[in-house]
Chains A and B, each alone.
Chain A
Amino acid sequence: MGVGNTGGKISDVVDDTRERLSSPSSQEIFALLIVLGIVVLLLDLVRRLVMGEMAVGRLWRYTWNGLVDSLYIALAAIGLSMTYSILRFANFSHGDLVTTGAFSGWAVAWLIGGWGAYSVGELVLFSPTAAGPTGGGLGMDVLASPVAILVGLVMAALMTIAVALAIDRLVYRRMRDAGGIALLIASVGVALALRYIIGVFWTVESHSATASAPIITDVPAWFPVERINLHELTLVVTAVGLIVGLHLLLQYTKLGKAMRAMADNKDLALITGIPTERVIFATWTIGAGLAGVAGYLIVLDRGQFSINIGWFLLLLIFAAVILGGIGSIYGALVGSLVIGLTINVSLVWIPADLNEIAAFTLMILILIVKPDGLLGGVETA
């Protein structure tokens, strides 16, 4: 229903609805089936809880993990959504910006944590020799070395931004007028080159960067959890803070307005005198900064990482962006929430090595049924 229809008579709406119900398109039938499937699953979930087949604690754990996952997916998805709406292409190298953030941020954190005790090379390359430092040995947790972790976080953002801007200047700026598919292919090239340039330095092996996370066990009784993982908490607080900050930036500054205008209609924005190159600069800065932070925080949460961390995450990020409707960052947030919950709550029914399949299938179904995403394609930048 458009705005113009608000004054329409109720009978019109009823007729319209009846007409649509009597001859549903294949898409609508498809959508109905999906909704039906979700309802059945929810009913089954309730049944399992009531019958005692599944403990409430387990569901709560899945939900919490889903929320945590959705936060770092959201940080990455916002950037992808912004570049999608303002530069108009699906950026397949976004996952490798996440990787860049993880490696650069933790290299700096290690450098600060182990300064003087070890050589620079050993620290930056995450202990390439067997005798080198370890994350535990350097005390890489938020309580033992908060300064190193914080500086690492900031540097992850800054260095990812620097890399993204350099790539934009080298590659994408030369292709401003190219079609979406040409840019997409180029971004695949960027993804491969960037990932394996990192690989030349850090090898393709997996690294372990952090000490084991400090855990608070004496939580107040009214709290729903018995123990708090401080690294997870850091992730949640940082991510939520950044998302709120971004919301304020987009809604209440001139830059935000310009970005929304450009996402809406690039030519009109140009005519209106919006400095498009500066908006593109801001897009990369925000998008890459958030992606870098996401990579850094994932490592803080998981401990282990390799150069494939971002690539493996990329399809999930795409799923989130598509689900929310490409171009809308609030949609990307909703999409991330759905994807994060899907990959965790689906564990109730399916084995752990099939959960990403569930997320990808959901993504494909949404693309088929509602290509505009769940929020109906409102491009709010």
Chain B
Amino acid sequence: MSGADPEGDPGTDTADVPGEDDEESAMIRPKWGSDLFLIAKVVLATYALFFVVGVLSGAGVNATVGTIQSITFWAALFALGALALNLHWGYTGMFNIGIAGFMAIGAYTMSIAIASPDGTPAGFGLPIPIGILLGTIAAGIAGLVLVIPTLRVRADYFAIVTLGFSEIVRLSVQSRSLRQIGDTGYGTGGGQGIRATPVDSVVPWLFDQPIVGDVGGVILAAGEAVGIASSVTMRGMYTFILILFVVAFYVLLTRIAYSPFGRVLKAIREDELAAKSLGKRTDRAKIAAFAVGCALMGLVGTLWMGSRTHISPDHFMPLITFYVFVALIVGGAGSNTGSVIGGFAFAAFIFEGPRFVRTMVRANLGADFPRTAYGAFAEFGAGDPTALIGYVLYQQADEVRYIILGVVLIVLMIKRPDGLLGHRKEISAGVDLSRQGTVADGGRPAGGRTDASSPANGADETAAKDGGDRDE
């Protein structure tokens, strides 16, 4: 990436020992290299784990590869969501639990913009990139409209406001009265949603594009030669494009975080009054950060719905918000790398994990399980313990997922409120305040805009932690 500074990498791996990095610049900078390495480690280890478990348990190579593919898809999506949320909650400290609403605004705007004019409900038949852009802008504007009047409400009230907002959005698009607005034929489709005609679904469109189409055609042909169905290859390509977006989000957010603007955001998170007293325009910064984050959430919504040909209000239940939240909290709010890893860990172990267990149960015990707890307990009582196992892990796999989700949230909040990587919460100061000597030779004022061109390297984990603590 253009922002990466190769000089910063070698030292960071050994930088866990305090004091060893005194040679380095005191500027607080992102650690692209070691972070990329960390993400790669987690991803590869998880893939290997799933593969080994899947093959050993007899789920079959195909099912395992399918699981890994869908893990990757969801990981990319939740990483995107978590990165966008990190700007709100991790950096600025704004507790937004209306993510589903902003995603819905983005996705619906895109669907209405690109749907064919002959459909029911009708769309505007615009090109797909414009639809995605409009969706992003619409979500950003919605965020702007919501945040300006609610800037000063308390954090827990803000949470309730955003949740209420997302429910208002969902109920609105679900409502029969907006199914077709007036006699125009345009609308949200009510509870049925909007079905994209093949012309305006995103994945086939991608294959019509010059470069992507050519490469895609070659990959498709290669895939078919090896025996991979074209639909699987196409899904894989779409996932790959999502991953490119993750990279872009990551770079963008890290740039923001290490810019003077980002430091104002972190200062607001730590102590808004203090930041204000120092002459920072905290209101403006909060509005801008919120709108940008919401626009990114809208973009995530369009990207998610781009993989589908149908969009309906049921896709945007508040649960989606909590998925993203758990992804962020698992990784540790305040760290972009944490967001990506959290999104991945969430997708692998909480989101797809129970389904994978379900696949394994089917492979080993069949699919003939009682459909109700009554039947399960009856057969269990009759001396068939597999009925109960099958009922819980096979029939109720979704419920088990939600239970795990809840328990993970509770345990994290009790044991590690900062998440797995939360101790790396980036501090708001521009220079490392934890060591006197290094500040002097860093030589750059905290508020200066010196690092806009080269935000990179430095600051090990312990320093970030110490700095964060001392700041308070």
Docked complex Cα distance between A339 and B147 (Å): 24
Q: Is the CB of B409 within 8 A of A185?
A: yes
Docked complex Cα distance between A369 and B389 (Å): 53
Docked complex Cα distance between A125 and B405 (Å): 25
Chain B interfacial positions (CB closer than 8 Å to A) = 95, 149-150, 153-157, 159-161, 163-165, 167-168, 171-172, 174-177, 322, 325, 329, 372-375, 377-378, 392, 396, 399-400, 402-403, 405-410, 413-414, 417
Number of A residues with CB within 8 Å of any CB on chain B: 52
A200 contacts B by Cβ under 8 Å: yes
Using A189-B405, A192-B403, A322-B160 as known contacts, say yes or no to A357 and B410 having CB atoms under 8 A apart: no
Q: Is the CB of B156 within 8 A of A181?
A: yes
Q: Is the CB of A188 within 8 A of B402?
A: no
Chain A interfacial positions (CB closer than 8 Å to B) = 30, 89-90, 121-122, 125, 128-129, 171, 174-175, 178, 180-186, 188-197, 199-204, 315, 318-319, 322, 350-351, 353-354, 356-357, 360-361, 363-364, 367-368, 371
Using A128-B374, A357-B168 as known contacts, say yes or no to A193 and B157 having CB atoms under 8 A apart: no
Contacts of B378 in A (CB 8 A): 121
A-B contact pairs, 29 of them (CB 8 A): A30-B149, A90-B156, A90-B160, A121-B373, A128-B374, A181-B95, A182-B413, A184-B156, A188-B409, A189-B406, A192-B322, A192-B405, A193-B402, A193-B405, A196-B399, A196-B400, A196-B402, A315-B163, A315-B167, A351-B176, A353-B171, A353-B174, A357-B171, A360-B165, A360-B168, A363-B160, A364-B164, A368-B161, A371-B153
Q: Is the CB of B403 within 8 A of A197?
A: yes
B184 to chain A, nearest CB (A): 18
Q: Is the CB of A204 within 8 A of B399?
A: yes
Using A125-B374, A200-B373 as known contacts, say yes or no to A315 and B177 having CB atoms under 8 A apart: no
Q: Is the CB of B176 within 8 A of A371?
A: no
Docked complex Cα distance between A351 and B179 (Å): 13
Q: Is the CB of B407 within 8 A of A193?
A: yes
Using A184-B159, A322-B160, A371-B157 as known contacts, say yes or no to A202 and B373 having CB atoms under 8 A apart: yes
Interface-centre pick from B167, B374, B414 (highest chain A CB count, 10 A): B374
A208 to chain B, nearest CB (A): 16
Interface-centre pick from A30, A200, A351 (highest chain B CB count, 10 A): A200
Docked complex Cα distance between A194 and B403 (Å): 7
Contacts of B161 in A (CB 8 A): 364, 367-368
Q: Is the CB of B406 within 8 A of A196?
A: yes
Closest to B374 in A: A128
Contacts of B392 in A (CB 8 A): 200
Using A90-B156, A192-B405, A364-B165 as known contacts, say yes or no to A174 and B322 having CB atoms under 8 A apart: no
Using A185-B413, A315-B167, A364-B165 as known contacts, say yes or no to A128 and B156 having CB atoms under 8 A apart: no
Docked complex Cα distance between A42 and B130 (Å): 44
Q: Is the CB of B410 within 8 A of A186?
A: yes
Closest to A89 in B: B156
Docked complex Cα distance between A210 and B372 (Å): 21
Contacts of B417 in A (CB 8 A): 178, 182
The 3 A-B pairs with the shortest beta carbon distances in the complex, nearest first, are A189-B409, A193-B406, A192-B406
Docked complex Cα distance between A178 and B275 (Å): 24
Using A189-B410, A201-B373, A371-B157 as known contacts, say yes or no to A195 and B168 having CB atoms under 8 A apart: no
Using A356-B171, A360-B167, A364-B164 as known contacts, say yes or no to A121 and B400 having CB atoms under 8 A apart: no
Contacts of A199 in B (CB 8 A): 396, 399, 402
Contacts of A186 in B (CB 8 A): 409-410, 413-414
